[in-house]
Structure 1
Amino acid sequence: MRLDHAPLWRDELATWSAASRPLGDLFRLVGTIDAVSGPYYLLMHGWIAVAGDSVVALRLPSALAMAGAAALTTLLGARLFGRRAGLLAGLLFAVLPSTSRYGQEARPYALVTLLAVLATLLLCRAVDRPASPRWAGYAAAVAGLGLANLFAVSLVVGHALAVLLARRDRVRLPWLVAVAVAGLVLAPLAVLGRSQQGRQLDWVGRPGVGDLLGLPGSVVQAGVVGGLLVGLAAVAVATRGRRGVLVGLTVLLPALLLFAAGQFTPLFVPRYLLFVVPFGCLLAAATLAPLRLAAALAIVLLTALLGVPEQAAVRRTHEWPRTAPVDYPAAVRIIAAHQRPGDGIVYVPRNGWAFLDLATAYYLRTDRPRDVLLVQDQVGRADFWATECSEPERCLATADRLWLLRWGAHADPLAHLPETRADPLRTRYRLDTTWTVPGLTVALLTHPPAAR
């Protein structure tokens, strides 16, 4: 999967920043922002202590989770639609661009996908042969699912329909108890997460009908592949009886809930629905299973081939669109190669989601240029953002040579800066050298000769 080929992107830098903090500082952070990701950060904190924080180490848990999700998808498919369908479902899931994309990202989505399939498999076992340990396992899986991503608990709506249609009174009450126990575990996280939602998801807009129709392609990371899966899944819903309908609702209901919720609150983020992809693969495989094996495998191969362009793209960058990569490592290498002792650095922007300072801290661990505008760092603020000097002109005067790391490509790195930054930079420094790398501009500023 070439785990370390694509640079860490902004969300992964947030994971590293949170998970690499001491436990006390990590708990302070999630009390301020991103509480819903707190359990994942805690898991990654322990993982980093054992495996380190290289790009491969940070992404390896997601790769393992995706492999586990593919295996469990095969088992669940065999249980619901037969062994051949299970095998085809696992293969389909494995070749999707989204499986590669989120299987090589240091974020919780692969873990959510694994837990969604696990919870469904455990529910099937508990419904077939009810027993307290099985319901306890199901409750734990649902709680884990919510701890990894609260919205993924919407999967339980599909489970509820399956339990109601099972026509077995002895499974309904244990199911309700299991869900209630999981709900009690998740309630504090939900309350805290709701209080932070406006700040954390302020970049999310209200979805339209086009966003809903484009969900398959957005979630699978390739429009044509998403369309093919939807077509195959629709056939299974129409031809595979009650099980086909129930699995179809497990895919459809969370999507509709996300769209409906997005009309009232910032929540519509397509990757939140990654956990339904294995169930779409189950339905597609149920359509393919009656075909001759060679024909079915040919369609799986076609699915893989249709996704090749996106498979290549996700290995270059995790940014969107893929045509706009951001090469943090290249920018940091330039600074490392040309810096001198005593150099300072300024980041533009500092208060958005670019995380230029986190990228520099990650890729240039020691001997970084001094952050001349820094007043309080992210750890001190219990945040992902730092506090900068309120008098930039005074703070900038402490460095003879100054690096400017700026988001985007700029022929003039000082153009269109906020006046509080541009005026002292132009007054005290002259532009010495400019480099551009994908998505970023690096500039070296020095004092003009007369000022030396």
Structure 2
Amino acid sequence: MTTTKPVVGAEGGDRPADPAADSLVRRVIPIPAPAFLTPAFVTLLGCLWGAGDRSAWRDEHATWWAASLSFGDLYQLTQHVDLALAPYYVFMHLWVSVFGDSPTALRLPSALAMAVAGGLVGLLGRRAVGSTRGGLFAGLIFALVPTVTRYGQEARPYAFAMVAALMSFLALLRALERPEPRRWVLYGVTVPLVGWSHLVALTVLVAHLATVLRARRRCGRHVVRAWLIAAGGGLALVVPLVVLARDQAQQIAWNTPAWNDVAAMPYMLFRSPVATAVVLGGAAMVLAMVGRGRQRTGPGPDPRPRTQFTPLALWALVPFLLTLATVRWLHLFLDRYLLFTVPAWILLATIGIHRLAGRATMARGIAVTLVVAVAASAPFSRSDITRNTPREPDYHSVATAVFVDQRPGDGIAYTHRRKPRRALDYELRYGPRPRDVFLHDTPQQRADYEAGECPDPRRCAAGHRRIWLVSAGRGDNPLSGMEEQKSRLLRQEFRTLRTLGFANVQLLLLERVP
């Protein structure tokens, strides 16, 4: 008679080993289908719905520009700006070369990354409370959070930071569950992915250390050494990026939050009153229970390194506190930079709501009610956040008007506010376009996002009978923000034939005075 060796199950108890599930993938990170696939599908659906409806905005134009450069030009660019995002730009360069650079194509990697993140939240939720129901609750709440949808439709690296942080945490839990070399290698591989996606996301390593220290008594002191080796090896691939990028901190010096921004940060992470109340309310329940000594329910020691309060609380709070404490020097206290903490808040809420409900039937009813409430409010919050900000110029409409009415020999000129040249370069990238009148040095030549302008405006404008002027300046003067020599030339030698107004931008058709 043969006996089957019991192994620790995902529910926290013992179950017979399943030989069919002993593939490499399932031994390293098992994927229970409902807890992973359902949240992943719902998240992907939300991110793809209307992904191409919103026109690209300034940050996405930067992604397109960097991704469209050759590797040599991209290297030169990152020596001056955005070195911290170089791994993302390299990936996007490869992506664009295969799938194109439409708004939808640029945003699709973020949608796919966010879908995987939704599935991983489901897996961690399942581990946190020991039931598939908990995983579905966590994963579906995640999928319905408006910021998840927005940044799953954003050609920027924030969704990648989210999925990398989740992958790394889950890989760590699996390594502690069965401390084998290949599992520590897998964890070590995820650490540079976290740093390469966004340097702020490296603060999750504080939560990782707490998780390892909690497991030391059960697993032995060797896990601390194994973690130091794995995490240190991964960090060795990121440290050069951190050191080289530190001198570029001033490029985000505009980010100087006031105290009202600090107070608003919890809401800004979710952008939904209902989702904020559900998630932060559930997380507060855990705090209350821990304060009363009720962190665990049920007898006996914890049989496995399950997702617990302390690591999740550190994951949620340490990035907030560190970026706030260093904001005067590093300027990193920004909601989208802290987006990777959203899963930790949701997992804390999942634990709190599950433990408050107690009985299985009550827990099921409360979970369904809360998911329905968040889902019912989602369309209203989504409609606000999936649009560009009210201050963002509508360059897409400007480009459409220029494309339709341009004539051979037309020129185009720009004021210098809100990056109009890069935006029109993107919007007019496929069709005939007016010549850039005042362009002197291209951004590639300058290894920058911005071009150098002609030192002799009169010579550069010679031969142009008509000039389209794109102005995102403030006030009634469309030439505000333009260098005085150029604006004087346009005022004295050209007259305005037409003025078209769009959101936060004007388009003027100027004709040379006979």
- Secondary structure, counterpart of 1:435 in structure 2: strand
Paired residue for 2:147? Answer: 98
Match among 82, 94, 98 for residue 46 of structure 1: 94
C-alpha separation in 1, matches of 2:150 and 2:116: 15
Q: Sequence identity of aligned pairs in percent?
A: 38
Matches within 5 A, 1:84-233: 84-166=133-215, 167=217, 168-198=220-250, 200-205=251-256, 207-222=257-272, 225-233=275-283
Matches within 5 A, 1:17-416: 17-83=65-131, 84-166=133-215, 167=217, 168-198=220-250, 200-205=251-256, 207-222=257-272, 225-239=275-289, 241=295, 243-289=308-354, 290=357, 291-317=362-388, 319=389, 323-349=390-416, 354-365=418-429, 366-407=431-472, 411-414=476-479
Please state how far the C-alpha of 1:56 moved relative to its aligned partner.
1.0
- 2:241 partner amino acid: L
Task: Decide whether aligned partners of structure 1 residues 414 and 213 sit closer, same or farther in structure 2, where only a CA change above 3 A counts.
Answer: closer
Task: Decide whether aligned partners of structure 1 residues 208 and 402 sit closer, same or farther in structure 2, where only a CA change above 3 A counts.
Answer: closer
- 1:215 partner amino acid: M
After superposition, the C-alpha distances for 1:60-116 in whole angstroms (9 at most, x for unaligned) are 000000100000110111112222221100000000001101000110100110011
Please state how far the C-alpha of 1:223 moved relative to its aligned partner.
5.1
C-alpha separation in 1, matches of 2:190 and 2:279: 27
Please state how far the C-alpha of 1:22 moved relative to its aligned partner.
1.2
Please state how far the C-alpha of 1:208 moved relative to its aligned partner.
4.1
Superposed CA RMSD in Å reads: 1.8
- 2:387 partner amino acid: R
C-alpha separation in 1, matches of 2:273 and 2:207: 25
What TM-score do the two structures reach when normalised by structure 2?
0.82
Kept in 2: contact 1:331–1:442 (CA 8 A): yes
Task: Single out whichever of 410-419 and 22-31 deviates more from structure 2.
Answer: 410-419
- 2:98 partner amino acid: V
Please state how far the C-alpha of 1:414 moved relative to its aligned partner.
3.4
Query: Aligned pair count?
Result: 440
Largest Rg, 1 or 2: 2
Kept in 2: contact 1:343–1:369 (CA 8 A): yes
Task: Decide whether aligned partners of structure 1 residues 411 and 433 sit closer, same or farther in structure 2, where only a CA change above 3 A counts.
Answer: farther
- Secondary structure, counterpart of 2:326 in structure 1: helix
Kept in 2: contact 1:62–1:108 (CA 8 A): yes
- Secondary structure, counterpart of 2:391 in structure 1: coil
- Secondary structure, counterpart of 2:508 in structure 1: strand
C-alpha separation in 1, matches of 2:288 and 2:214: 18
C-alpha separation in 1, matches of 2:235 and 2:438: 45
C-alpha separation in 1, matches of 2:177 and 2:363: 30
C-alpha separation in 1, matches of 2:82 and 2:244: 9
Please state how far the C-alpha of 1:146 moved relative to its aligned partner.
0.1
Kept in 2: contact 1:372–1:395 (CA 8 A): yes
Task: Decide whether aligned partners of structure 1 residues 254 and 316 sit closer, same or farther in structure 2, where only a CA change above 3 A counts.
Answer: closer
C-alpha separation in 1, matches of 2:480 and 2:73: 37
Task: Decide whether aligned partners of structure 1 residues 29 and 417 sit closer, same or farther in structure 2, where only a CA change above 3 A counts.
Answer: closer
- Secondary structure, counterpart of 2:469 in structure 1: strand
Kept in 2: contact 1:237–1:245 (CA 8 A): no
Please state how far the C-alpha of 1:202 moved relative to its aligned partner.
2.4
Kept in 1: contact 2:158–2:339 (CA 8 A): yes
C-alpha separation in 1, matches of 2:477 and 2:255: 31
Please state how far the C-alpha of 1:362 moved relative to its aligned partner.
1.4
Please state how far the C-alpha of 1:304 moved relative to its aligned partner.
2.9
Kept in 1: contact 2:396–2:427 (CA 8 A): yes
Q: Where in structure 1 are there 5+ consecutive unaligned residues?
A: none
C-alpha separation in 2, matches of 1:414 and 1:331: 17
Task: Decide whether aligned partners of structure 1 residues 213 and 259 sit closer, same or farther in structure 2, where only a CA change above 3 A counts.
Answer: same
Task: Decide whether aligned partners of structure 1 residues 292 and 231 sit closer, same or farther in structure 2, where only a CA change above 3 A counts.
Answer: closer
C-alpha separation in 2, matches of 1:258 and 1:297: 35
Please state how far the C-alpha of 1:127 moved relative to its aligned partner.
0.9
Q: Where in structure 2 are there 5+ consecutive unaligned residues?
A: 1-48, 297-307
Please state how far the C-alpha of 1:418 moved relative to its aligned partner.
4.0
What TM-score do the two structures reach when normalised by structure 1?
0.93
